[in-house]
Chains A and B, each alone.
Chain A
Amino acid sequence: MSEFLLVQTMNGLSFGALLFLLASGLSLIYGVMKIVNIAHGSYFMLGAYIGLSVIIRTKNFFLGAIAGAIAIGVVGLLMERIFLRRFPLQASPQMMLTLGFTLVFRDLALLIWGGDPYTLPAPVFVRGSTEILHVVFPVYRLFVIGVAAVVAICLWVFNEKTLVGAKLRAAVDDYEMAGGVGLNVPLISGCMFGLGAFLAAFGGVMGGPIFGVYPGLDLELLSLGFVVVIVGGRGSLKGSAVGSILVGLVDNFGKALVPELSYFTLFAPMAIVLAIRPTGLFGRE
């Protein structure tokens, strides 16, 4: 029993780590631009696909991860600069635009990579498995947890300790005042959007060896990302970290214990959080 508990906890944590890469961008974009990016799940999926193509050609996992992340980061930046910028601070049309892009991205991915599911090969030095307390555990999952933790720390340092981070926090708190004191809020939100896309695509490649990449991954991950943001609180980095771990664990134990109701088990934490704190665990207002 304790073996089961340990394995599922580790699985849940590694899934939560991937969710964090997705949801932190989603949450930060919401924080600055007050929009929910429906295309965020698409970034995750496209990142994984691009990573796959690069890895197959170069046989190098990290090149694939960087290439996928940068390519999608640029896509996100362009999307914000060219399209979303036309509707500054109008949440509804911006969101509807990202919805249109979700459909386009989904079909483009189907056109380019076909409908077959693929699994990305894990990098050589983290293949195989290891034993923790007599429980066999794949090294790659531990590696993913480690990478997400590093990303989380980097994001935290960036957000709390650097000047750019301070500007970002100012824009999140009150974009009007931030603009009034001379910060270039449109530039900040554009970069945030790009960074969010970058992180999501990076998460997509990191998740590739675990659950692969297939059509439909985009919306599946998007809904999970939404649950994380609802539970953690919109616009909060800490919230998305805690929310990801929580959702990752609940989802994993749900799938293992009551496979028939697996998606429904996510309903419980969400309902509880919404009932007690409508803004999410770390949300403001």
Chain B
Amino acid sequence: MENWNDGKMGASQTKSFLSLIFPNIPIFQYSNLPSFHYSSMLHGGSVERYDMRDLFASKVKLIGLVLAFLVLGVMPPFYTSYWVTLLTQMMIFAIVAMSLDILSGFTGLSSFGHAGYFGSAAYVVAILATRYKIGFLTCFVCGIALATAISTIFGLLVAHASGVGFLMITLALGMCLWGLAFRWVNMTGGDNGISGIPRPDIGLPISLKDPLMYYYVILFFFLVALILMAVFVRSPFGHSLKGVRESESRMKVLGYHTWLHKYLSYVVAAAFAGFAGVLWAYFNGFISPYDMDLTASIEIILMVIMGGPGTLIGPALGAGIIVFLKNFISAYTQRWLLILGTIYILTILYAPQGLMNLIKDWIKDSQKKAEMGKTG
């Protein structure tokens, strides 16, 4: 973000906290949804918008949006139930990947313990729903509440750190959560996990046992999460998170409370991970410590890196790719990790910016070429 220190953000700091996060609802503008348009945010939607360059970018966006709508919204009734289930899984992991993107892509802090929050929320649902037969809404709230509560405590320990230190501490904390799930057998069932979580009754006249109906419910939750997170990262608060990522010391000098920024972004990311964890527990019907171990956290990081950190929609794409590959490759070979690791090394070597940023670069390049053609 090259414009992070222009005057507007400093002024907005004096507003109340809520207005910091939700200041400009026009964000919901349809053409803005698939990817971010920083310049129009900061300069108040200039005339540039109607320029040829932006026309091309918005064309690409429009095509992407229409495709996504067709593939995710219209077509699923025609898919086999295998694909519908796979898509559901992709949606859930897309939420986790996006939540980590808030932290690692926007704030610049890679967490190696993110699956811990996902898992804790899932465990809450598993325990409440199987042992106490508690309904969806309570489980939903409790799951997210626990993930948020743990992150408010852990956040106190991690928020002062950055870079490698942050990574190591989150890894160790994630391991503590995993250890609890693994060893606290009375509560969590230990290695065996908890099975038999029923599909929720959310008060609709349809049965969620039908994969297609459940898919659409998850799609709805996914869209809610996407919109909430998009609003969050595009708010002035979200922009100051990018400032912290680019240069924490400068943000400090400008008068921002960087510790609080990091802390809040950690908590928000954990809350959304918990959100996905609740959906996962109901989807999978089974939860074990392996859903929240280090490998699970690493997979989430891969989704973010592969999709393109700091783009929100990129990590969602990355989640889709990884979930697909995982299911697809493991149908043919046992060597799923080997292939994933290799793909990953190649990604870092040849496309370290991730898929979504590659697309963005490509759009920029084509724009430049188009302009050159016009002037020359």
Contacts and interface: CB of A to CB of B under 8 A. Distances in A.
Nearest to B160: A278
Interface string B264-277: 00000000000000
Interface stretch (B176-184, B201-209, B247-255): B176-184
Nearest to A96: B348
B102 interface: no
A28 B341 CA distance: 25
B180 A271 contact: no
Secondary structure call for the B interface: helix
A103 B298 contact: yes
B167 A95 contact: yes
B110 A261 contact: no
B294 A262 contact: no
Nearest to B346: A100
Contacts of A284: none
Q: How extensive is the interface on chain A, given as a class?
A: 35 or more
B260 interface: no
Secondary structure call for the A interface: helix
A261 B337 contact: no
Contacts of B294: 219, 222-223
B164 A91 contact: yes
B341 A104 contact: yes
Contact of B338 (A35, A92, A103): A103
B180 A223 contact: no
Nearest to B298: A99
B230 interface: no
Given A104-B345, A263-B183, A93 B352 contact: yes
Contacts of B182: 263
B126 to A, nearest CB: 18
A113 interface: no
Contacts of B157: 270-271, 274-275
Contact of B337 (A30, A106, A263): A106
- Most B C-beta atoms less than 10 A away, residue of A100, A230, A267: A100
A229 interface: yes
B185 A260 contact: yes
Interface string A236-272: 0000000000000000000000011111101100110
Nearest to A270: B172
21 contacts: A36-B164, A36-B167, A92-B110, A96-B305, A96-B348, A99-B302, A100-B342, A100-B348, A103-B338, A106-B341, A107-B336, A107-B338, A219-B294, A222-B171, A226-B171, A230-B168, A261-B179, A262-B183, A263-B178, A267-B172, A275-B157
Question: Across chains A and B, which 4 residue pairs bring their CB atoms closest together, nearest first?
Answer: A263-B179, A103-B341, A104-B341, A107-B337
Interface of A: 30, 34-36, 83, 86, 91-93, 95-97, 99-108, 110-111, 219, 222-223, 226-227, 229-230, 234, 259-264, 266-267, 270-271, 274-275, 278
Interface of B: 110, 157, 160-161, 163-165, 167-169, 171-173, 175-176, 178-180, 182-186, 293-295, 298, 301-302, 305, 335-338, 340-342, 344-345, 348-349, 352
Given A92-B110, A95-B167, 17 more contacts: A83-B345, A91-B163, A91-B164, A96-B344, A96-B348, A101-B345, A103-B340, A103-B344, A107-B336, A108-B338, A223-B294, A260-B186, A261-B179, A262-B183, A264-B179, A267-B176, A278-B165
